[in-house]
């Protein structure tokens, strides 16, 4: 049986047209922030969020007051989630080691792992206050040892969201700004009169935030292109339609353009899931957003075999991949392009989003083909070093280097090696000539 699409999403051409519109808006907005600084940021915040305080940066007193509004239960839950995220991030950090080796006597090579010196963490929150995104970016940067962590989140219902601010503060943010969207990531990356620029931007966001990060990449580092949420369910007849529909809509509610895809080899499950989605959309409080995503970006792909399902999944390279089959570990062994895997019916994407400990900032738009998600290593740079401790090693390596430089025609490079062969090896090498091996006479 050929692969059959029981439901298709908007075409790639339509999506490309949307992307082009977003790109133009972002380009103009970043230009305004770069040229007009704080004034542009304030205008944008007033226009899009209706928010223009005296200072966008929260003072220690304001942070304390907002944290006081968070209930004891909510605070305990935030602390629990951060403990899971920190614990896994620390385990990842512990797996990274500085090294130093001596491949030849007197030749020392090594690398050191050094934190990025300043990071801007964007925490979405205009439609839904994304408390968990603070754990994923701020707390993980803290585990990495980043010395300056800047966090920004949009106002929620006209004011700072207490739970998000609490999560940022507990996560280790040194500066907290109540700013959203392009103006937030633009201000953190480009700097303004009152905000010093950072070296790196991290965190998820809508299409405008993701595009802003793309355009700013190069001037600053970024974690990855983490745009609108994507989810895929790979399922066979070991699970039912309610489970599949719930997992698809659970991620589709993020926004109006969140792709949700079912890949299955069961026609009964495919058709049942389509019907169950209709039923759930009639009772889901967030049906306005989830329904729009499902209408325009939902897909149901019917395959004949697990091999076909695997090929489809790797080609789509979805951000979240929920696997519920009779061979979940087989998919773990053979999947190569995705953001994160959620294996078996007992777990789900929401666990990863909120509490289980793995990071929820993950690659979208097929970026899973070449990168994984945000993790402690994204905040760390690996820098190499070398030193030579003996005259004999300086002369031996220098002679090889001299000849290899001359092979490429780099005389100046060769002289860097030659001067050391002369000084530390006591050998007479003509200027601009290749150093011969020790004991070998020139023709």
- Whether 17 is a known active-site residue: answer no
pLDDT confidence tier of residue 81, bands split at 50, 70 and 90? very high
Pick one of 1.10.290.10, 3.40.50.300, 3.40.50.1980, 3.20.20.70 as the CATH number of 25-95+115-223. 3.40.50.1980
pLDDT confidence tier of residue 11, bands split at 50, 70 and 90? confident
- H-helix or E-strand spanning residue 248: helix 241-252
Which residue bears the tokens 């659970």?
A: 250
Q: What is the mean pLDDT of residues 138-151?
A: 98
Q: What is the mean pLDDT of the chain?
A: 96
For 308: left if phi > 0, alpha if psi spans -120 to 50, otherwise beta; the answer is: alpha
Res 125: pLDDT: 87
For 410: left if phi > 0, alpha if psi spans -120 to 50, otherwise beta; the answer is: beta
The answer to whether domain 25-95+115-223 and domain 228-373 are alike in fold is yes
Residues 6+ apart with CB under 8 A from 185: 120, 122, 152, 201, 205, 209, 212, 213, 216
Q: What percent of the chain clears pLDDT 90, i.e. is strictly above it?
A: 91
pLDDT, tens only, 262-299: 999 999 999 999 999 999 999 999 999 999 999 999 99
**Domain residues of the chain, as ranges?**
25-95+115-223, 228-373, 390-442
Domain 228-373 has CATH 3.90.550.10: no
**How many CA within 13 A on the CB side of residue 381?**
13
Measure the CA–CA gap between 377 and 367, rounded to whole angstroms.
18
pLDDT, tens only, 174-218: 999 999 999 999 999 999 999 999 999 999 988 899 999 999 999
Res 270: pLDDT: 98
pLDDT confidence tier of residue 246, bands split at 50, 70 and 90? very high
Res 1: pLDDT: 57
The active-site residue, picked from 135, 169, 254, 320, is 320
- Whether 320 is a known active-site residue: answer yes
* The pLDDT of residue 442 is above 70: no
The active-site residue, picked from 319, 336, 408, 440, is 319
CA 77 to chain centre: 24
What do you get for the CA distance between the two ends of the chain, in Å? 73
């Amino acid at each position: 049986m050929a692969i059959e699409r029981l439901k298709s999403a908007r075409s790639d051409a339509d999506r490309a047209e949307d992307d082009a519109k977003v790109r133009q808006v972002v380009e103009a907005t970043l230009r305004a922030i770069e040229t007009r600084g704080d004034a542009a940021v304030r205008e944008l915040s007033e226009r899009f969020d209706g928010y223009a305080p005296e200072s966008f940066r929260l003072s220690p007193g304001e942070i304390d007051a907002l944290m006081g509004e968070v209930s004891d239960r909510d605070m305990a839950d935030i602390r629990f989630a951060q403990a899971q995220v920190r614990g896994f991030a620390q385990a990842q950090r512990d797996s990274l080691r500085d090294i130093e080796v001596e491949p030849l006597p007197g030749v020392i090579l090594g690398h050191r792992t050094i934190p990025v010196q300043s990071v801007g963490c964007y925490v979405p929150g205009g439609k839904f206050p994304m408390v968990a995104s603070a754990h994923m970016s701020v707390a993980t940067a803290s585990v990495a040892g980043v010395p300056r962590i800047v966090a920004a989140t949009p106002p929620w219902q006209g004011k700072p969201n207490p739970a998000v601010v609490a999560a940022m503060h507990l996560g280790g943010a040194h500066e907290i700004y109540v700013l959203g969207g392009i103006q937030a990531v633009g201000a953190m990356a480009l700097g303004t009169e009152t905000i010093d620029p950072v070296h790196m931007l991290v965190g998820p966001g809508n299409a405008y935030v993701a595009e802003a990060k793309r355009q700013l990449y190069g001037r600053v580092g970024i974690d990855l292109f983490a745009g609108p949420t994507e989810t895929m369910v790979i399922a066979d007849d070991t699970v039912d339609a309610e489970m599949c529909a719930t997992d698809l809509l659970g991620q589709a509610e993020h926004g109006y353009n969140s792709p949700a895809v079912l890949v299955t080899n069961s026609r009964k499950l495919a058709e049942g899931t389509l019907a169950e989605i209709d039923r759930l959309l009639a009772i889901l409080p967030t049906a306005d957003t989830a329904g729009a995503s499902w209408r325009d970006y939902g897909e149901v792909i019917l395959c004949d075999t697990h091999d076909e399902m695997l090929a489809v999944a790797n080609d789509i390279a979805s951000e979240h991949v929920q696997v519920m089959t009779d061979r979940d570990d087989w998919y773990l062994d053979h999947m190569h392009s995705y953001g994160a895997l959620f294996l078996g019916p007992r777990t789900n994407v929401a666990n990863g989003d909120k509490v289980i400990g793995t990071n929820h900032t993950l690659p979208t738009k097929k970026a899973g083909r070449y990168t994984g998600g945000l993790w402690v290593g994204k905040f760390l740079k690996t820098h190499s070093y070398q030193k030579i401790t003996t005259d004999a090693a300086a002369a031996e390596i220098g002679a090889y280097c001299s000849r290899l430089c001359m092979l490429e025609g780099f005389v100046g490079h060769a002289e860097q090696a030659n001067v050391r062969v002369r000084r530390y090896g006591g050998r007479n090498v003509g200027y601009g000539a290749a150093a011969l091996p020790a004991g070998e006479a020139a023709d």
